[in-house]
């Protein structure tokens, strides 16, 4: 049983209760408090830190590589592809404007996509990029969002690739600083955040929603579920697919030439400089079924894929023969995916909403999608 003090303070009724303290939950709290400062807003999370993807990503401030966007255009149509890119681009600009570059460790280092000659569109790469640039000009304001820069293959020290596509608009950031800064901001706005408080289930009553946590019930007027890849455990009917992303980071490499953010294979591989270290992630397309999971452990299958990639494409100029000797960190994060690659904002019952599936682009998308959530809450 809880005490009367706990009931009055720790488990007191709130106007808005948000499950999930990652970027999506934090930005949603920000948007709600910005519009209605007088509302009581509380975020709960089952962990001691957000353990999905918000602090376990690669720290990219990107809106999509050229071949990824070409692929999306073929799969979903040009209009939907541009809608997603527009939201990603606006999201990056909003994050920088609200929090400031220094607070999130933003580096305007530019981004590259590495391409091999066996890529299905390689023969028409320039033609595809010209078309893509025309489509993107209204979003980015640049006549050339993407340019071919093959000379950078040597200056960046990359091996085993035939072309590089460059965008000056992409950059890198520090994911931990981003979450920390946004957390501090919403707390200053009056949002309460309670960790180690898991949403177990809820009961919808005539005048409120009772949310059961391990400690006690928290009554609320509206419930927002922002648990991303873990949402399938609460709302399996939404058919959200989790996707594990695995990452490795090397020890410091003297004389590292690599500088910028990089993509390969329609975005399934991604790497960047991290000071004089290399951060590399991805490879889940080598084992889709195995990586469709909420388990946070790294696996030998994908770790071996990443080690081979490092050896073949990044480490050769530095005389590092054994990749195992240079790996310093490895981890996994959980993303969420929809079939059409569009984020999902859904009202699952009166005053109960779910916001999920930024499809691996939560850093860019969450601040903008949170506006849609607030629109839904106040509709």
Burial class (CB in 10 A: 0-12, 13-18, 19+), 4: exposed
CATH number for the domain that contains residue 195? 3.50.50.60
Say yes or no: 262 and 162 in one domain.
yes
Say yes or no: 26 and 154 in one domain.
no
Say yes or no: 309 and 367 in one domain.
no
Say yes or no: 229 and 290 in one domain.
no
Residue 158 lies in a domain: yes
Domain count, the chain: 2
Residue 93 lies in a domain: no
pLDDT tens, position by position, 31-73: 999 999 999 999 999 998 888 889 999 999 999 999 999 988 9
Round to whole Å and give the CA distance between 211 and 369: 24
Residue 146 lies in a domain: yes
Residue 209 lies in a domain: yes
Say yes or no: 233 and 313 in one domain.
no
Say yes or no: 258 and 282 in one domain.
yes
Q: What is the average pLDDT value for the chain, to the nearest integer?
A: 94
Residue 140 — pLDDT band, cuts 50, 70, 90? Answer: very high
Does position 26 have pLDDT exceeding 90, yes or no?
yes
- At residue 49, the pLDDT reads 86
Residue 180 lies in a domain: yes
Say yes or no: 51 and 165 in one domain.
no
Say yes or no: 234 and 364 in one domain.
yes
CATH number for the domain that contains residue 296? 3.30.9.10
Quick check: 324 and 307 in contact, CB under 8 A? yes
Residue 79 lies in a domain: no
Q: Which long-range contacts (CB under 8 A, 24 or more apart) does 146-152 make?
A: 146/66, 149/112, 152/112
Average pLDDT over residues 346-364: 91
Residue 310 — pLDDT band, cuts 50, 70, 90? Answer: very high
Phi and psi at residue 296, in whole multiples of 5°? -90, 0
Domain of residue 222, residue span: 4-56+176-239+340-377
Does position 371 have pLDDT exceeding 80, yes or no?
yes
Does position 343 have pLDDT exceeding 90, yes or no?
no
Say yes or no: 195 and 274 in one domain.
no
pLDDT tens, position by position, 152-193: 999 999 999 999 999 999 999 999 999 999 999 999 999 999
Round to whole Å and give the CA distance between 333 and 352: 26
Say yes or no: 189 and 231 in one domain.
yes
Residue 227 lies in a domain: yes
Residue 46 lies in a domain: yes
Q: Is the pTM of this model over 0.85?
A: yes
Say yes or no: 229 and 311 in one domain.
no
Say yes or no: 194 and 333 in one domain.
no
């Amino acid at each position: 049983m809880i005490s009367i003090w706990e009931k009055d303070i720790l488990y007191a009724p709130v106007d808005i209760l948000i499950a999930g303290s990652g970027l999506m939950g934090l930005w949603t709290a920000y948007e709600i408090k910005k519009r209605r400062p007088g509302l009581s807003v509380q975020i709960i999370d089952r962990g001691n830190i957000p353990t999905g993807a918000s602090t376990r990503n690669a720290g990219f401030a990107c809106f999509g590589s050229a071949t990824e966007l070409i692929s999306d255009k073929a799969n979903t149509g040009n209009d939907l592809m541009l809608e997603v890119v527009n939201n990603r681009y606006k999201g990056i600009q909003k994050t920088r404007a609200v929090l400031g570059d220094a607070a999130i460790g933003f580096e305007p280092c530019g981004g590259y996509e590495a391409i091999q000659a066996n890529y299905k569109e390689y023969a028409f790469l320039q033609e595809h990029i010209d078309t893509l640039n025309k489509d993107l000009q209204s979003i980015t304001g640049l006549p050339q969002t993407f340019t071919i820069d093959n000379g950078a293959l040597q200056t960046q020290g990359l091996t085993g690739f035939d072309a590089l596509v460059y965008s000056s608009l992409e950059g890198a950031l520090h994911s931990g600083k981003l979450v920390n800064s946004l957390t501090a901001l919403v707390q200053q706005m009056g949002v309460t955040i309670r960790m180690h408080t898991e949403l177990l289930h809820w009961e919808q009553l005539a005048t409120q929603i009772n949310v059961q946590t391990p400690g006690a019930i928290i009554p609320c007027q509206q419930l927002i579920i922002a648990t991303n890849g873990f949402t399938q455990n609460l709302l399996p009917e939404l058919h959200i697919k989790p996707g594990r992303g695995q990452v490795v980071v090397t020890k410091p490499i003297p004389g590292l030439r690599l500088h910028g953010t990089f993509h390969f294979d329609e975005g399934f591989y991604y790497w960047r400089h991290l000071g004089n270290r290399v951060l590399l992630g991805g490879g889940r397309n080598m084992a889709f079924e195995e990586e469709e999971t909420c388990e946070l452990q790294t696996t030998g299958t994908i770790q071996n894929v990443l080690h081979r990639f490092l050896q073949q494409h990044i480490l050769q100029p530095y005389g590092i023969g054994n990749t195992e000797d240079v790996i310093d960190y490895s981890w996994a994060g959980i993303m969420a995916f929809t079939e059409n690659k569009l984020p999902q904002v859904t009202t699952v019952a009166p005053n109960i909403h779910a916001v999920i599936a930024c499809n691996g682009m939560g850093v860019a998308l969450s601040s903008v999608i949170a506006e849609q959530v607030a629109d839904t809450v106040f509709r």
